Amino acid sequence: MRKKFLKVIFILYIPLLIFSLIWSYQQRQSLIQNLAEIEQRDISKKSYHLVEQTRYLVETTKFWSNYSFPTAFSQKFQIDSTFIKDYIKTVQVYKSYDQFRIIDLHGKEIIRFEKIAKDSMVQQTDLQNKIDRGYFQKGLSLKKGQVYVSPIELNREYGIIENPNKPVIRGVTPVFDVNGDQIGLAVINFNMDERLKLMKTSLVDENFYLIDKNQNVITTNLSENTSPHLTEMNKIDSLIYNKLKLTNLIFKKDTFFLEKGSLWVYRNVDIGFEKNIGMNRYEDVSEIITDNDWAIIQETPNSYITSRLQTIKNNLILFNILTLIVIVVVALLYARMQKERTDFIAQLKSKNTALIVGKAEIETTNQHVKNINNKLRVRNQQLEDFYYVVAHNLKAPVSSMSIIVDMLRKSKNEKTTLELLPKLATISNSITTLTEDVLTYVSILNNKDLEVENVNLLLMLKDLENEMLATLEDNNAKDFNIIYKLDAWHSIKCSKFYMKSILQNLLSNAIKYRRQDVDSHIIFESTWENNQKVLYVKDNGLGIDLDKHKDNLFKLYKRFHRNYSGKGMGLFIVKSQLEAMNASIKAESEEGQGTLFKIKFNQL
Amino acid sequence: MKKPKILLVDDDEVYLFVTKKILNNLSEDLIINAFTDGEQAIEYIDLCLKENIELPELILLDINMPFLDGWGFLAEFKKMKLKLEEQNVTIFMITSSNDPSDLKKVKDFEEISGYIVKPVFEDKMEEILKTVYNGSL
């Protein structure tokens, strides 16, 4: 019951569990895809602004590569002040525009404008030498018309990082005088502070990383430092650097993936030198030299993903609980139904068994009743025969006697008396004989406790044959054959005394009533019929006309052959003794052919 | 006047002796034949028919006999009935049996004129003779 119950639950629940898990997994994948797409859109917006700013820097810087400086351009002999004022006035409006400088070929600043407040750029007289700065050295190698875009780094004045930190990006281009001789470099600084701050704003607590091609962090919301790899990394920066060593980021391709419990969205920033990414709104693309190969990574932390996945988890759990409840109910009902069915079948079986047993009992009883009935019928017949014998055979001499007595009484004649008296003696003799015969019969009828034993018919018949041989010799009829066909069975449980008497009677009858004109024989043949032992006794003697004598064949004092001595008791005794042993006898006969007796033995 | 013929069929020799004596007492003019079984009686009747001897007018027949009993005799007798022509044969069953089955069997034979249970005393026998011979004795 319990096992079946669990089995049903298992069978029903497992597919649903698998289904719910697959469904949840797909939900989760779809959610992550969704999150990634949102992040990607955010990144592309951020990168668009970064690129926009860089382009503007390039364009602004490039302006100076086409400008013809006076031949004697120097600290003292500068360019037209009205022009530069107008220029400054124009560019200072732009928020990020932070510094404008012209540096000569020796690294010495010649012109230096610096934003000191919003919308206000002021020319500085405090000039520095930038000969050892990277952007200056890179700038020197530029050809006319080329613009170098520096990495984003913290601004330094006099070689020292400015405080407060100011992340800057520089555009550098060579400048020439009217004769086409290079007089130095134009350097424009854009303050990236605001841009980077904007980029660091997050939608859903994600972490923002702007990295270069070497996976160095330029800026991140996790650290105050900008491009720390260019100077000195502190502990936090190292941690961040290591954190970004992601196995899924081998190829620098736009992608997203889950790693270290977070959702990482990676996207390259295309500054627009390549025309294939929709950045070709600048028709005249400058030749830009840069080491900047930016990429943006946004990391959606595990906690946020978990919180978003919570709904799916809750749904999964809820679904499974409900499913389990339904399945348990169904399984309970099913198990109960099964149990009821099993019980019903068991009940049917036991009832059936009871019926079969009952039927067998009834059959046994029926058989028993039948047997008893049969015995009673036989016994009844025997009693009738007995009554008949007494009524007729005893009454006959008695009635004769009564007449004789009456006659004697009336007679005065001595002669008559002398005549009648011997008749009384005859009657007396016949009554004595009758009494003896009846007693024999009654003893057979009355024998309740018949002594039963296993009798070997063959041995018994052989003994009888030897006994009879003497008689046969006397009768000068040696050619009487006794034939045994006792292969089917030759032993039977019965009264030895009766059996001997029966066989003796049958055998002596066969000898007595044999035909003189043929070789006489008697055959004893045993066989089985309907599970019963049957003995056939067949002779080729005179036979009896059964049409005449059928009713009387086994009756007392019946005789069928004149000229043969006999009392007419043999077959009567045979039948009585067989009936006493619960056996029956039937005869078939034809005059001049022989007689066949069939003896059927019932189980004693 | 011809003498009345009576046939006795019974295996009890004492009965035959006694009955003959009774009949002789009643009339001395009777011709009495007796047989101890049905078979002999039938053979006699057969002989009578063949030799054209007159049949007995009265047969006193016992039932229980060896070789051929009373019923067997009646069955054979019935077969010969056609040959009997005008001859009137009266048959009385004289038996010691008052067995119901025997009484029932009597009804199957219209040849039977009476059924008398032994013993048959002289007066009873006289009565029978009177019925059969209608006082012509």
First to last CA, chain A: 54
Pick B67's closest partner by Cβ from A393, A395, A562: A562
Please report the domains of chain A, with CATH numbers, ordered by start residue: 1-300 (3.30.450.20), 449-601 (3.30.565.10)
Distance CA A332, CA A219 (A): 63
CA geometry: angle A134, A137, A141, nearest 5 deg: 135
* Domain total in chain B: 1
- Cβ-based contacts of A547 with chain B (< 8 Å): none
Q: A300 forms bridges with which residues in the sheet?
A: A263
Distance CA A193, CA A170 (A): 13
Strand spans (E) along A375-472: 453-456
Q: Is residue B16 part of a domain?
A: yes
Distance CA B21, CA A406 (A): 13
Strand spans (E) along A434-511: 453-456, 481-485, 491-494
Partner-chain contact A548 B14, CB within 8 Å:
no
Q: A103 forms bridges with which residues in the sheet?
A: A109, A185
Q: Give the pLDDT score at A4.
A: 75
Residue type (1 letter), A371: N
How far is residue A260 CA from its own chain's centroid?
A: 41
Q: Is residue B135 part of a domain?
A: no
- Cβ-based contacts of A400 with chain B (< 8 Å): 12, 14-15, 18, 118-119
C-beta of residue A265 within 8 angstroms of C-beta of residue A297:
yes
Asked if the model's pLDDT at residue B111 lies above 80, the reply is: yes
Chain B closest CA to A380's CA: distance in Å?
Answer: 14
One DSSP character per residue, A297-355 reads EEEE-HHHHHHHHHHHHHHHHHHHHHHHHHHHHHHHHHHHHHHHHHHHHHHHHHHHHHH
Q: Give the pLDDT score at A335.
A: 82
Q: Is residue B127 part of a domain?
A: no
Classify residue B16 by its DSSP letter.
H
Q: Is residue B131 part of a domain?
A: no
- Cβ-based contacts of A407 with chain B (< 8 Å): 18, 21-22
**Can you list the alpha helix ranges (DSSP code H) found in A66-129?**
81-91
Partner-chain contact A423 B17, CB within 8 Å:
yes
**Can you list the alpha helix ranges (DSSP code H) found in B52-118?**
70-84, 100-106
CATH code: domain of residue B9: 3.40.50.2300
Residue with tokens 């013993």: B119
- Cβ-based contacts of B12 with chain A (< 8 Å): 396-397, 400
Distance CA A97, CA A191 (A): 6
Counted residue by residue, chain B has a size of: 137
Partner-chain contact B98 A557, CB within 8 Å:
no
Backbone φ and ψ for A467, nearest 5 degrees, come out as -60, -40
Closest chain B residue to the Cα of A402, Cα to Cα:
B119
Classify residue A284 by its DSSP letter.
S
Interface test with B, best of A386, A390, A399, A572 (most B CBs within 10 A): A399
Residue with tokens 């030749």: A287
Contacts of residue A526, Cβ cutoff 8 Å, sequence gap at least 6: A457, A485, A486, A487, A488, A489, A490, A533, A534, A535, A536
Distance CA B8, CA B91 (A): 10
Contacts of residue A373, Cβ cutoff 8 Å, sequence gap at least 6: none
Q: Is residue B74 part of a domain?
A: yes
Residue with tokens 């600043």: A109
Distance CA B38, CA B77 (A): 10
CB-based contact (8 Å) between A406 and chain B? yes
Mean pLDDT for the stretch of residues B44-55: 87
C-beta of residue A43 within 8 angstroms of C-beta of residue A265:
yes
Residues of the domain holding B34? 5-120
Mean pLDDT for the stretch of residues B60-75: 88
Distance CA A327, CA A451 (A): 77
- Cβ-based contacts of A399 with chain B (< 8 Å): 15, 96, 118-119
Task: Give A523-579 as a 3 state SS string.
Answer: EEEEEEECCEEEEEEEECCCCCCHHHHHHHCCCCCCCCCCCCCCCCCHHHHHHHHHH
Partner-chain contact B118 A400, CB within 8 Å:
yes
Partner-chain contact B118 A406, CB within 8 Å:
no
C-beta of residue A382 within 8 angstroms of C-beta of residue A441:
no
Q: A453 forms bridges with which residues in the sheet?
A: A494
Chain A closest CA to B132's CA: distance in Å?
Answer: 22
Tokens representing A101? Answer: 């400088």
C-beta of residue A42 within 8 angstroms of C-beta of residue A203:
yes
Distance CA B39, CA B71 (A): 11
**Can you list the alpha helix ranges (DSSP code H) found in A112-244?**
134-140, 193-200, 235-243
Distance CA A393, CA A383 (A): 15
Q: Give the pLDDT score at B68.
A: 87
Tokens representing A72? Answer: 């004697």
- Cβ-based contacts of B66 with chain A (< 8 Å): 557-559, 568
CB-based contact (8 Å) between A386 and chain B? no
Distance CA A434, CA A446 (A): 18
Strand A167-177 to A153-154 pairing = antiparallel
Cβ neighbour number for residue A276 with a 10 Å cutoff: 7
Asked if the model's pLDDT at residue B104 lies above 70, the reply is: yes
Q: Is residue B33 part of a domain?
A: yes
Closest chain B residue to the Cα of A562, Cα to Cα:
B67
Q: Is residue B63 part of a domain?
A: yes
> Phi-psi category of A390—alpha, beta or left, where left has phi over 0 and alpha has psi -120 to 50?
alpha
Interface test with B, best of A383, A388, A400 (most B CBs within 10 A): A400
User: HSE of B35 in the Cβ direction (CA atoms, 13 Å)?
Assistant: 23
Task: Give the DSSP H/E element, type plus range, for residue A423.
Answer: helix A414-446
- Sign of the dihedral through C-alpha A344, A346, A347, A352: positive
**Can you list the alpha helix ranges (DSSP code H) found in A148-273?**
193-200, 235-243
How far is residue A474 CA from its own chain's centroid?
A: 93
Cα dist. A354→A261, A345, A363, A370 in Å?
72, 14, 14, 24
Closest CA to A111 of A70, A142, A150: A70
Q: Is residue B137 part of a domain?
A: no
Tokens representing A362? Answer: 């009834």
Partner-chain contact A397 B64, CB within 8 Å:
no
CB-based contact (8 Å) between A428 and chain B? no
10-residue averages of pLDDT along chain A (604 residues): 78 88 91 91 90 88 88 77 87 90 91 89 89 90 88 86 87 90 92 88 86 86 82 83 84 86 88 51 63 87 88 90 89 86 94 93 91 86 79 81 85 81 86 86 79 90 82 63 90 91 91 87 93 93 87 84 82 89 91 93 76
The answer to whether ipTM exceeds 0.90 is no
